[in-house]
Amino acid sequence: MLYLDQIDKARLPKHIAVIMDGNGRWAKLHGKPRVFGHKNGVKAVREVSEAAAEIGIDFLTLYAFSTENWNRPASEVNALMILLINTVKSELKTLNDNSIRLNAIGDLKKLPSRTYDTLMQGIEDTKNNDRMTLTLALNYSARWEMTDAVRRIARDLKAGVLSENDITDDLISQYLSTVNMPDPELLIRTSGEKRISNYLLWQIAYAELYFTDVFWPDFRKEDFYQAIVEFQSRERRFGQISEQL
Ligand code: IPE
Ligand code: IPE
Ligand code: MG
């Protein structure tokens, strides 16, 4: 039986976050340079975006480039920035065909200007789509995001826009780049690595974590649906006991 058919459509997560990992190892396995893996990862991005929109996920957030990824060889970083430009352009039709709105989080202004401009154009060209929001985390890290939020909260305190008692869990969420998004209920990481790598640390406080050995370029719709089936089999207790649920 297909994983798709095992999904309970009434209990879908609203927000799924993904750490797309394993492009480099996938390329090595095929005797190719790392960039070949990144290029082949684009197909998985398309498949997962379509799969998520088709079953009715509201928010899909993909980790595409971390603040730490700048430390990779310059040739790989440059290739990723160019790939991003080409991907946003080539995937516009798929986004519009599926009514997917493009969004981005991270320290975007520090991206190369051509990458930044193309990204902003993609966001503009899809802004009226309302089936799903696809967010790319680019030059993103959770510690950057939280530091930035603390700085802006401090600024608003000083300006008298906020007072100390206004600082609540909800207020902090509003200062994060995921403002207006529900927290992800499910976090998927491919490639067998079992770590968070500075991704959405605040938002995943109660997310279910799902790890698969599949390398990102091989990840397909059924792999995505399998993660949702596994998610639906888990009991989420939020600190309570089974009998209370
Ligand atoms: C994920 O694949 C893509 C990015 C981080 C940009 P990797 O490039 O990390 O691939 P591995 O983990 O080295 O195999
Ligand atoms: C995390 O993957 C970042 C992205 C998927 C964009 P990495 O491959 O960079 O993470 P580490 O270095 O293995 O933790
Ligand atoms: Mg990696």
Mean of the per-residue pLDDT values of the chain: 98
**pLDDT recorded at residue 108:** 98
Residue among 8, 23, 58, 69 flagged as catalytic = 69
**pLDDT recorded at residue 83:** 98
**pLDDT recorded at residue 199:** 99
Does the pTM surpass 0.75? The reply is yes
Predicted confidence (pLDDT) per residue in 186-227, tens digit: 999 999 999 999 999 999 999 999 999 999 999 999 999 999
Nearest atom in ligand 2 to 24's CA: 8
What value does the mean pLDDT take over residues 102-121?
98
Residues 95, 58: Cα–Cα separation, whole Å:
14
Q: Domain with 129 in it: what CATH number?
A: 3.40.1180.10
Q: Is residue 196 part of a domain?
A: yes
Domain that holds residue 26: 12-141+184-230
Q: Is residue 203 part of a domain?
A: yes
Query: Does the annotation count 69 as an active-site position?
Result: yes
Q: Is residue 89 part of a domain?
A: yes
Q: What is the 8-class DSSP label of residue 1?
A: -
Banded pLDDT at 16 (limits 50, 70, 90): very high
Question: Which ligand sits closest to the CA of 193?
Answer: 2
Residues 210, 110: Cα–Cα separation, whole Å:
31
**H helices, E strands: number in the chain:** 8, 6
Instruction: Provide the 10 A C-beta neighbour count for residue 29.
Output: 13
What's the structural domain count of the chain? 1
Q: Is residue 151 part of a domain?
A: no
Q: Is residue 30 part of a domain?
A: yes
